[in-house]
Amino acid sequence: MRAPKFWTSKAPLSRLTAQLLSPIGALYGLSVKWRNTSEWRYRSRARVICVGNLSVGGTGKTPAAIEIAHLLQARGLQTFFLSRGYGGRTRGPMRVDPTVHKVRDVGDEPLVLARTAPTVVARNRMAGAEFADMAGADVLVMDDGHQNNSLRKHISFVVIDAQRPYGNGHIVPAGPLREPVRQGLRRATAVILMGNGSPKLPGYRGPVLRAQLVPQEIPGIKDKPVIAFAGIGQPKKLLHSLQSLGAQVKELRGFGDHHTYTAKEIAKLKARAQQEGAQLITTEKDFVRLTPKQRHGIRFLPVRAVFENPDAVIALMDRYAIPNRVQKSA
């Protein structure tokens, strides 16, 4: 879905819309609270690290999960991802094979995750964790799931966009929040602030980590015309990343998060790029949603989450989530 403008606008009509919808949001927040009062229903043999957020889309959660997996792999741990597979039709549990599975099967994020580590898709996270246990996982990194209490989590990272943390402060559908901020932070082991900024963290006294989304170089785009398109939570992030690399962005086309592109839409984008003599560039998540034919002539911008202090991240995982046998041998 595309985030409604009233989630971020301060216009009187936007504020009124949010206020009218806020009772529904309050009920949604209470449902999250109620679900998290129950005991864990499954204790995985693998250590479980949840990388979640408090709002809908656009925080840098998936790049953060990938970077955490890299840190775990560097310690010699058999690391698996666990994803719900949003946008896919497969209920799972199933291990993702990027050479076989399509977005319609498993969703876009699992296809990106599977480039880094074995990835299990399961609508039922307990079943997914059991599947990963049987496959020999030492650590299970949950991409999303902070609002889900079906698994025992050894550590819960909450990723917050440091510049645009909570939108209008309301809960879905009145705003972008999945639950009240104080409520969600109460369950966080550590907060990851993505980008520059110092948002308020009400009631939170735990570790605060900082990271930046760093675009990776694309050869041949500096000082060159570019047409960009993205179906992510905050499409303008692609614009800013390309500009930081020196590209001359002629146009940015934004689509709803997890958008499935039609042949007509891609044909129009390619025609526009040809008209401008520009390179057509999208995000990695968008690129995996394209068919092989659609990908022809389109490049994607890789983005990496870089922690300012990776040793602090490792220290937290040593304390809560990395098996003792690995700590002793490190």
We report the CATH number of the domain holding residue 194 as 3.40.50.300
42 belongs to a structural domain: no
Do 70 and 158 lie in a common domain? yes
In the chain (330 residues long), the average pLDDT of successive 10-residue segments reads: 73 84 80 70 89 88 95 94 89 90 90 95 93 95 90 94 90 90 95 94 96 91 94 86 93 88 94 94 91 92 94 92 60
Q: What pLDDT, on the 0 to 100 scale, is given for residue 72?
A: 95
Do 84 and 180 lie in a common domain? yes
Q: What pLDDT, on the 0 to 100 scale, is given for residue 203?
A: 94
The dihedrals phi and psi of 270, each to the nearest 5 degrees, come to -65, -40
Buried b (16+ CB within 10 A) or exposed e, 46-85: bbbbbbbbbbbbbbbbbbbbbbbbebbeebebbbbbbbbb
Report yes or no: 184 and 78 within 8 Å, Cβ to Cβ.
no
The dihedrals phi and psi of 12, each to the nearest 5 degrees, come to -55, -40
Q: What pLDDT, on the 0 to 100 scale, is given for residue 326?
A: 54
74 belongs to a structural domain: yes
Q: What pLDDT, on the 0 to 100 scale, is given for residue 310?
A: 95
Q: What pLDDT, on the 0 to 100 scale, is given for residue 47?
A: 94
SS (H, E, C) 251-280: EEEECCCCCCCCHHHHHHHHHHHHHHCCEE
Q: What pLDDT, on the 0 to 100 scale, is given for residue 11?
A: 84
Q: How many Å apart are CA 128 and CA 135, to the nearest integer?
A: 11
Do 203 and 232 lie in a common domain? no
Residue-by-residue DSSP string for 213-229: EEEPP-TT-TTSEEEEE
Q: What pLDDT, on the 0 to 100 scale, is given for residue 25?
A: 77
Do 84 and 203 lie in a common domain? yes
29 belongs to a structural domain: no
Q: Using alpha carbons, select from 62, 30, 4 the residue that is nearest to residue 179.
A: 30
Domain count along the chain: 2
Whole-model pTM above 0.85?
Answer: yes
Do 169 and 318 lie in a common domain? yes
Q: Which domain holds residue 287?
A: 217-301
Q: What pLDDT, on the 0 to 100 scale, is given for residue 327?
A: 54
Report yes or no: 306 and 215 within 8 Å, Cβ to Cβ.
no
> 147 pairs with which residues across the strands?
none
Do 68 and 202 lie in a common domain? yes
